[in-house]
Every structure is written in structure tokens, then in C-alpha cells.
Structure 1
Amino acid sequence: MTRWPNRVSITEVGLRDGLQIEPRILSTHEKLDLAHALIDAGHTSLELTSFVSPARVPQLADASEFLAALRHVREVEFRALVPNLRGGARAIAAKADVLVFVLSASDTHGKRNLNRTPRDSLAELREIVGMAADAGIRAEVSLSVAFGCPFEGDVPVERVVGLAREFQKIGITRTTFCDTTGMATPRRVQAVARALKSELPAIEPTFHFHNTRGLGLVGVLVALQEGIERFESSVGGLGGCPFAPNAAGNVCTEDMVHMLHEMGIETGLDLNRLLEAARLAENLVGHKLDGQVMKAGPRLNRSDSGGE
């Protein structure tokens, strides 16, 4: 008999992973409206932005200003993705609560996305951890293409676990394992989760799925069965990696929360307010989003219409 966790933690990544691929660049004021709507829904962990080159990702060019505008908000963790030492220094100066260093599990994706291999990135990670410690800030890792690479195919589970072991040696206790282009299958999710639990029981894994091939919530369900209790998701299903082909569609926050609540799993989030935030996000980006519960409503919503 499957025993689900009683509660899971969800980090909202729509403001970073979601907006970075959008053709319409939102103003800082518009982002603040969405951030406050997500906080009002109960979010206590938001990946706000990334300190990358504005030329490469103009949607996130206001990273410092956006963080500064939310510094007065208490009891919410504001996270910033950083690809290198320069980005780390900028995030520290902007007073991010957590630095999330991004690193690829495959050589080809690493070279195309970050201009370095995973082994090259490890050297920078050591310096990032030191910088963060000196500033009193926690450092974490986001491991891209952990469930499959669009350029190399399947990434061996042994390689994923081996990299996580290196992170742990450097002092990282939390790592996010990302399905960057929606290549995760139930079998691969199970294999990664079981290997991490068996070989690295001291780490706290977070799983991050994309719904590119319609398996996003399936991945969440399998991960729950394997005892994973930390997830990332995006309001309305916004998002995707601009440096990987066909990477659209993060797991939708409100769809995942609807599923979890129906399973009796607590999230600390208010589904109705999440739906309001999703509608706001849809209005801001100017096109329909992929969230299903936003379209159909929660399962027990009453309908006046008849049926066959």
C-alpha cells in the first residue's frame, strides 16, 4: 500500500523559469503584481529571477530591481538562479536569500547553455559556495537535464548521482533535479529517486518536471511514491528553457496543487487564490496558458449545465 507524504514543499518558478521564454517582456511593476498574487496564495519560496546576461535573457534584465522591490516582504524565501561567479556576486549584492547555481548533467547541454562542461562548472561551484557562506546566504544547485538530454539522449543515473555526490562534498545539501525538456518517464524518475535515497540519504532532493510530452504530473506522482517531498512548478504552466529545443511547459502549479489536495497531501497553498494568480499571469503575458484546472475549475465545482 502506497504511503504518500503528509505534506510537500513547492517552490514557484514561474517568475524566472516561466517568464524567461515569453516574447512579451513584463515590466518590474507587472512582475511585482504577479509576485504578490503568488505570495497571497500562500507561497513561501519563490524563484524570482536569474542573474544572467541581459543580452541573452532580456526578460530578466531587471533582476536587481525586482529583488530590491520585495525586500520588505517577510517570511518568504526569494531565490535567484546564477550561472557563474559574476552572477553570484550580483545576486549577493542584491540580497537574494538563496543562490541557485545551475549546472548541466550532460556535456553537450552544458556547453550550449553555459559554455562549460559539468566538470568545469564544479570548480566555479566551490567558489560560489564560499562566496555565499561569507555573505550568510545558502547555496543550492539546479541540475539541468537530469532525466535526459535533448542532445545526448538518456543521461545515466550513475552520472546524476555522481554529480550530486560531488555537490555534497562541496557543502550542498539541497539539489534540484530538473527535467529540462520533458524527457522524464516513470521508470527514469523512479530510478533517480531510488538511487538518491540509497546512495545519498543526507541530501534533500527537489524534483522539477516539464510537461512537454504530457508526463509532468505523472513524474510528480511517481516521485511521491518514492518519498520525494520537494517540488518546483510554474503558475499556469508558464515556461521553458530558451537554450534547449522544445522545452516548453513547466508542470503547472495549480494543477499539481489540485492533484495533491485531492490526494490528502497538504501544500500550504490556497487553490482558489492560485487560480486567480494564474489568470493574472495569462493576462500579463497576453496569451492562453496551459493550466487545466484554470480552464475546468476544481473537480467538485458545481455546474448548472446538463450533460448526456
Structure 2
Amino acid sequence: METLWLFTFQDMFSMVIPQTVFGVSMALSGFATTYHQPHPIEVLRRIPLVVFWNWTNVLLFDIANQRLAGAVIEDAVNKPWRPLPSKRVSEPQARRLLLLIVPLVLVTGITLQCVPETSSVIVLTWMYNDLGGADDDYVVKNLLNAFGISCYSSASTLIACGWDRQNISTDTYCWLGMSWGVIFTTVQIQDLADMAGDAVRGRRSLPLVYGEKVARLSIILSAMGWSIICVTFWNVRTLGTIFCMMIAALFSLATYFRRGAPQDKTNFKLWGLWIISLYLLPILKRIGV
């Protein structure tokens, strides 16, 4: 289990926790997101299922990503504690583990009635890793990230709301689309801490193509702009607006002033915190904050 945890450790804070918050927030936001309100106790009981779906799909992606030769070279520079560069697992062992995980993920998707999302994650994982979608062009990389994370958001919402797609409101689908835009325009934050390894691997990430300054400014402008758009969309009150904008400002200031691989790893966690603050907006609207 420790090895599996090391495969997914970094993505617990950027994927599993935020996407679980997204789904639970949607389910607890009442008529703002669903036509028939799920009972809060039932939503809370489904949280382990939401976490399990997210974690197993993240595990699939991470093993598929980290087993590749280029990824091992990159991780030896950026993340030497991961299972393959630390020699806890060999590449053939990772491949065999992936052969076990794929059926598990498919069965989980069927059982939790998230077949479209699960199938899409598997296809996008293949495109991102085995087809090199993350290597040649930063736009393609961001697109794949945005579509993939949107699948996590959709599945988390469906599970938390009780598996009834007909109960998901139009505003929820609009919110999913906006969340896609948030990810597409800011996910390059993860590339700042990985520049050394990406350069060794030959990956054309945004900071390597256009420079670190351009990458940081693109993240800051997007974060502040999306924060304004999102609080306006949900029409939250003063406290909710201040809460979201303060976290956006904290993240933006850290991104601009705190530079270097160790600092950017912390900035990436702040990005996850900012994403969570956006995902909480529907609940803040419901409680009138």
C-alpha cells in the first residue's frame, strides 16, 4: 500500500481532494445544482465512494505516466522519491500492476454508474502518456488535463448526488464548463516546479517554450479573472467573495514572488487550495455567505 500511495501522493492534493470537494459541494448545494435535493446524510455516506473512484482513476493515470522511460528520467530529477526512480518498483512490475488496475477501474466505473467518465479517463490517459500528448505541445497538454479533470468533476458529482443524471441541473453543467476553463488556463502551474526534469525529457511545457515570466503572468491573470467570473456566476455575497478573492490573491502573489522548484511545489498546493475555494462557491451561495 505504501508503494501505491507513493504513486499517487502528489495528486492527492491536486486531484483526489479537490474533486471530492467538487462532487460533495454540488450535492449539498440544493436547488442551485440539482432538481431534487439529496439528503445531506446520504451525501456524506457517499463520500468514501467518491474518494475511491477518484483515487483509483488517479492511480491508473499515475502508473501509466510514471512507468514510461521518459517519465523515469524526469522523475529522477524532479521527484526521486517516486516508486520507479527510487527502485521500489521496476518498469515491468509497473506495467503488470497497470494490467491489474485497468480492470479494477472499469469495474468500479460500471458499479458506480460512471462508465462515460471512466472510459474517457482511460482514453485521455492513453493519449496523454502513451501517445505523447503531454510532450510535444503545451496547449495539447493543457487540453488533455482540462478534459481529464472535468471527467473527475462529473463523476464525483454523479456519485455524490446519487447516480441520477436527470437530477443534475443546467447550472451544474455550466459550472463544469467553467471549471474546464479554469483548469485549461491555470494547470501550467505544475510545470514551473518541473522545468529541470521537463528540459531533460525534451517536453515543450509553457514555461520552457515562452519563459518563466510569461507562464507566471498567464497563471496570475487567469486566476484573478476566473475568480471574479466564478463569484459573479454564483452571485455569492460579500463574505464569500472576499474568501475566494483573498485565496486567489494569496496564490497569485506566491506564484509571482516565490520562485524556484521548492517554492513552486508549495505554489502548486496553493493552486489546489484556490481550486477548492472555487468549488465551494455553490455551498457558499446556498448558505447565503
TM-score by length of structure 2 reads 0.29
Q: Which gives a bigger RCO, structure 1 or 2 (Cα 8 Å, sep 6+)?
A: 2
User: Greater share of strand residues, 1 or 2?
Assistant: 1
User: Greater share of helix residues, 1 or 2?
Assistant: 2
